[in-house]
Amino acid sequence: MTTGNVAGAQPRRWSWQSLTGGGALFQEDGYRHLWLGRLLSLTALNAVLYTLLVLAVGDGSGASIKSALFIAAYLLPTATLGTVSGVLVDRLPKNLVLTAVNVARLGLMLVVLMANTEIWTIYIIALLFAITSQFSGPAEAAALPQVVRPDQLTRANSTNNFGGLVGQIVGFTVLAPFFLNTVGAKPLFFSSAILFGAASVFFLSIHELGAQRIDIDSVVDGVRNVRRQFAEAWELLGRDVGTYMSVIIVVLSSTASLVAATLMPRFAQDVLDIPVRNAIFVFLPAAAGIVAGLRLVHWLERQVPKGWLVGAGFPLLAASFVGLALTVPFADVLKDMNPFGLFDPGPFGETTARIVVAIVFSTAATFSYSVVGVASRSLVNERVPMEFQGRVFAAQVMLTNLASIPPILLAGVLAELFEVAPVMLMTVFILVMAAGWTLAGALSRQDRTSRAEAD
C-alpha cells in the first residue's frame, strides 16, 4: 500500500495521530514503519549516548574538557566516511541500509555488555556508534520522498522530528536517568539492544524502499568514484542558493547545539548549581519549544517561503543562545522583581530564577532549531533530485560534524579557563559571521554565473 493509493476519507487506525501531527500519513504502512523504526532506534541511541557521556564525564573536575573530548570522538568518523556513506545510501536499498545499521548497533550493545566500562571502552563504543549514525541519518532523510507524496513532505518531516523528540525525551530523561540511578548502565545496554533489534525489523519491512535486485556493479563504481559522485551532488546543490543556504544554516545551527551540549555540564555546575546527571531535567521543558515548532511549521511554510523561514529561524536561534549566555544578569532582574509588593524579598530565589531563565531561552532555541530543521529538509526533498539526496544529506551531516569539532574542543578548553558566558557569546558571534560570509559568497557565485550565461 502506498500513499498514492489513498483516496477519500479513510478510518483512522492510530488514535495518537493528532498528537504527532501525522494524520493520514500513519495509514500508510511504509511511512508508519519508517516512523516507528526511527522512534525505537533513536530512543535507544539517545539513552546509550547520554549514558556514555555521563560515564565519560563523571563527577570530577574538567567536565567541559571531558564532554568536549567525548563529543569530538563521536563526530570524528565523518572525516573519512562522509562521502562514502552518501554514495552508498544513494546506490543501495535504504531499508537494507537502515536494517544493517541497527543490527550493527545491537551487536555493539552485546559487545559492551561483555566488556568493562573503562574510559577507553566508552570512547571506542562512541566512535563505532558514530560510524553507524553516518549511514542512518542520510538514509532516513532520503527515504522520506519514497514513502510520501511531494505535498506531504513538510508534514512528514515535522512528524518525523516529533518522533525524534519523543526518542530524546524517553532516551535522555526516562531510560538513562532511571537505569543510572537504579540498576546501572549494563541493564540499559541490554534494553537498548532489544530496541535496536525491533527497529531493524520495522525498517526491513518497508517494501517501498527495497529493490528487486541490487546492482553490485553500480555500487562498486560509485564507491570507486566517490569523490566525483559527491562533488557532482554538491555542485548541483550549489546552483540553488536558497537550498544551499538552508543546508549551511542547518550546519551552523547544529554546530551551535553541539557546542551548547559540550558546555552543558559546566553550565549546570557553575550557573545553575545542579549535578550534571540531573541537568537534563532542567532542559526537559524546552521540549515544548520543539513541539510548538513542529506543529506550527506546516502553517508557517504556507505563509512564508521555506528559504525565508530557514533564514528567519537562524537569528532567533542565535538570540536564544545569547539569552542563555546572559542567564545570570537576566536571573538577577527576575529575582529582584516584586510586582505589587506581594513578595518579600521576591518571588524567586537565585537558583530558581536562573533555572527559569534557562528554561525560557532554551525553549526559544529548540523552537527555532525545530523550524529550521524541518523547513530545510523539506526544501532539499522538494528541490534536489531523489537520486542525489543521500549525498546531500550525508554532506550536511559531514559538514556539521567536521565544522563542530574545532569549536567544541575550543569551547571545552576555554570554559575551564574562563566562565561559560563569554564562550557562548563568542560561539554565537563566529557562527553569525560564518553565515553572513557564506551567503555573500553564494550570492557572488550566482551573480558570476548569471553574467557568464548572459554573455
Q: List per-block mean pLDDT (blocks of 10 residues) for the chain, which spans 455 residues.
A: 42 45 70 90 89 71 66 67 68 85 92 77 81 82 81 79 79 80 84 93 83 55 58 72 83 83 77 70 73 76 79 88 88 71 60 84 86 82 76 74 76 78 86 85 71 63
Contact residues for 328 (Cβ-Cβ < 8 A; gap 6+): 271, 354, 421
Q: What is the pLDDT of residue 5?
A: 44
pLDDT, position 229: 65
Residue 15 lies in a domain: no
Q: Would you say residue 426 lies in a domain?
A: yes
Q: Is residue 370 part of a domain?
A: yes
Q: What is the pLDDT of residue 155?
A: 79
Distance from C-alpha of 47 to C-alpha of 54, rounded to nearest angstrom: 11
| All three cell numbers of 402 | 567536521
Q: Does residue 2 fall inside a structural domain? A: no
Strand (E) positions, 117-232? Answer: none
Q: Which of 140, 139, 138, 150 is nearest to 3 (CA)?
A: 150
Q: Are 149 and 3 in contact (CB under 8 A)?
A: yes
Q: Pinpoint the alpha helices (H) of 306-385.
A: 306-325, 327-336, 350-383
Among left, alpha and beta (phi > 0; psi -120 to 50; other), residue 337 is: beta
- Please report which helix (H) or strand (E) contains residue 122, including its range: helix 119-143
User: Do 424 and 321 form a contact (C-beta atoms < 8 A)?
Assistant: yes
**In the chain, what are the helix, strand and coil shares in percent, each to the nearest 5?**
85, 0, 15
Please give the grid coordinates belonging to residue 440.
Answer: 555573500
Q: Which amino acid is at 96?
A: L
Range of the domain at 65: 24-454
Q: Are the C-beta atoms of residues 265 and 413 closer than 8 Å to each other?
A: no
- Closest to 411 measured CA to CA, from 66, 137, 3: 66
Burial class of residue 368, CB neighbours in 10 A (0-12, 13-18, 19+): buried
pTM of the model: 0.64
User: What would the grid cell of residue 258 be?
Assistant: 553541539
Question: Is the separation of the CB atoms in 75 and 230 below 8 Å?
Answer: no
304-308 long-range contacts, Cβ below 8 Å, gap at least 24? 305/242, 306/154, 306/242, 306/246, 306/375, 306/376, 306/378, 306/379, 306/382, 307/242, 307/243, 307/245, 307/246, 307/379
The CB density around residue 279, as the number of other CB atoms within 10 Å, is 17
Give the per-residue pLDDT at 415: 76
Q: Which cell goes with 393?
A: 544529506
Residue 294 and residue 374 in contact, taking contact as beta carbons nearer than 8 Å: yes
Contacts of 362 (CB under 8 A, 6+ apart): 283, 285, 286, 289, 320, 324
Q: Do the domain assignments include residue 8?
A: no
Answer yes or no: are the C-beta atoms of 453 and 433 closer than 8 Å.
no
Question: Does the CA dihedral 55-56-60-64 come out positive or negative?
Answer: negative
pLDDT at 4: 42
Cα 33 from Cα 199, distance rounded (Å) = 9
In-domain check, residue 13:
no
Residue 18 placed within a domain: no
Helix/strand/coil for 324: helix
What is the grid cell recorded at 338? 516584586
Number of domains in the chain: 1
- Residue 74: inside a domain, yes or no? yes
- What are the residue ranges of helices labelled H in 267-286? 279-283
At residue 149, the pLDDT reads 81
Q: Which three cell numbers stand for residue 102?
A: 541497527
User: Is 108 within 8 Å of 44 (Cβ atoms)?
Assistant: no
Packing angle, helices 119-143 and 78-91, rounded to 10: 30
Residue 382, domain CATH: 1.20.1250.20
pLDDT value for 196 = 94
CA 37 to chain centre: 16
